[in-house]
Amino acid sequence: MKIKKLVFTAIFIALCFVATSLIKIPIPVGWGYVHLGDSVVMLAGMLLGPVFGAIAGGLGSTLADFAGGYAHYMIPTFIIKGTLAFSAGLIFKRMVEASRKKENTLVIIHFIAAVVIVTGGYFISELIMAKLLIVDAEGASELAYAAFGLPWNALQALFGAVGSLVLYYPLRKPFQNIYED
């Protein structure tokens, strides 16, 4: 069973990389981009569990940043996407254990956690980068510069949460045995 989990972790690393790299929409101001990878990051946590999902989501997204010319985002991405997958894994582990009545509440928590982790994580990252790199933001403060990414990151997190749910329900039964630690 552990070999299966390792193999699926490697597959999800590759899937996160491809989903993040395939379609990239650069954010008009800032150093980042909007992509489809968050759906796969969260799905990795939901199907593989918190630990292996965090490894897959963190590594796959980090490799996509490196290969795509966003190496300055590698450390924040690893932390943020790993945390995102870990959170999704914990929430959906509870969902498997919960009754049908509690599923709707856990889905709402999944959406809130995704938005808070992605927007908060990248806001802090961009604030630090703006201060360290002394970005020329056309007279804007570092805080204003970092805040510009908030709606883009929130939108990406919401779309990622929706995408992960759409993919989760048809895939949860085949992954049921792998999910258990």
Domain ranges of the chain: 2-176
The CA-based diameter of the chain, rounded to the nearest angstrom, is 56
Any idea which residue has 């996407």 for tokens? 81
- In angstroms, rounded to a whole number, what is the distance separating the alpha carbons of residues 10 and 80? 19
Amino acid at 61: S
Query: pTM surpassing 0.75?
Result: yes
pLDDT in tens, 142-168: 888 788 888 888 988 999 999 999 999
Mean pLDDT, residues 92-119 taken together: 84
DSSP secondary-structure letter at 24?
E
As its CATH architecture, domain 2-176 has Orthogonal Bundle (1.10)
Please name every residue paired with 25 in a beta bridge, in sequence order, or none if there are none. Answer: 34
Bin 134: left if φ > 0, else alpha if -120 < ψ < 50, else beta: left
